């Protein structure tokens, strides 16, 4: 559901994906990949877990959607290294057209089992080991992107679908409660139009990813999108989200 919200700018109540496994993103929805594909971009996705297999509808707009897992099981995953290997190979085949690349890594997720040498370095802290390993692999991907596309022409977004709980509020992992432990995530942007070293303090949501990317590239956001571009926040202005409109209306009524 969270990835569907990132790709469409819609809340789960609108895109109807309310759980993992039993829901499919309808083809009637406009995804970021669809928008860019229609504009002539090369589009590719490389996913790290079976929860994002193409049968769930997230492949819409991607000319390449690599969801090959090491085994056919419903809970299968592949390490970040393999995801990055495939993404880097695809990058090397690009001829110079604009491209949209989605690399999804699943390692900082149950079960926690980092590879060596991270297993040994973070003994007793396997989650930290998986984070460190994933960080290394994402660094490798970013290095490959920098060689392929100049920094001034490249927009990079790094974010996750949820946070992880370690027995806070009686919950282990995620999926039961709605506390900040699992709702708050890292959300990083870098590239043209994004001021360096700026921290946006007002609430930013995953549904804001699509409209933010489109505005930074000079495009238009589909009218049905419920997210809002975060670009005003880069200049210290308030982002006119639906929540802020509701608060304004409520204050006027009272």
pLDDT, tens digit (0-9, with 9 covering 90-100), for 103-136: 999 999 988 999 999 999 999 999 999 999 999 9
CA distance 185 to 238: 20
- pLDDT value of residue 253: 57
pLDDT, tens digit (0-9, with 9 covering 90-100), for 197-237: 999 988 999 999 999 999 999 999 999 999 999 999 999 99
CA distance 6 to 160: 10
Looking at the chain, the number of H-run helices and the number of E-run strands are 10, 7
Nearest alpha-carbon partner for 180 in 202, 163, 200? 163
Mean of pLDDT over the chain: 91
Task: Identify the weakest region by mean pLDDT among 48-57, 151-160, 161-170, 198-207.
Answer: 161-170
Query: In the Cβ-directed half-sphere of 133, how many Cα atoms lie within 13 Å?
Result: 27
pLDDT, tens digit (0-9, with 9 covering 90-100), for 132-151: 999 999 999 999 999 999 98
**For residue 248, pLDDT beyond 70:** no
């Amino acid at each position: 559901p969270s990835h569907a919200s990132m790709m469409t700018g819609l809340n789960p109540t609108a895109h109807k994906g309310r759980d993992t496994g039993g829901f499919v993103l309808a083809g009637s929805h406009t995804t970021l990949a669809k928008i860019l594909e229609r504009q002539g971009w090369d589009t590719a996705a490389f996913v790290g877990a079976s929860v994002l297999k193409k049968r769930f509808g997230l492949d819409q707009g991607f000319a390449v959607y690599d969801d090959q897992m090491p085994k056919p099981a419903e809970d299968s995953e592949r390490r970040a290294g393999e995801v990055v290997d495939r993404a880097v190979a695809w990058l090397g085949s690009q001829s110079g057209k604009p491209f949209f690349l989605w690399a999804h890594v699943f390692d900082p997720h149950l079960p926690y089992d980092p590879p060596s040498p991270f297993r040994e370095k973070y003994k007793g802290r396997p989650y930290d080991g998986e984070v460190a390993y994933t960080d290394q692999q994402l660094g490798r991907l970013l290095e490959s992107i920098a060689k392929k596309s100049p920094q001034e022409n490249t927009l990079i977004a790094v974010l996750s679908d949820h946070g992880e709980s370690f027995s806070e509020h009686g919950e282990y992992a995620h999926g039961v409660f709605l506390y900040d432990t699992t709702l708050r995530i890292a959300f990083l942007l870098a590239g043209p139009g994004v001021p360096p070293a700026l921290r946006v303090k007002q609430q930013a949501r995953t549904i804001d990813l699509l409209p933010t990317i489109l505005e930074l590239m000079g495009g238009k956001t589909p009218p049905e999108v419920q997210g809002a571009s975060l670009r005003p926040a880069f200049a210290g202005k308030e982002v006119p989200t639906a929540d802020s409109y509701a608060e304004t209306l409520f204050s006027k009524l009272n």
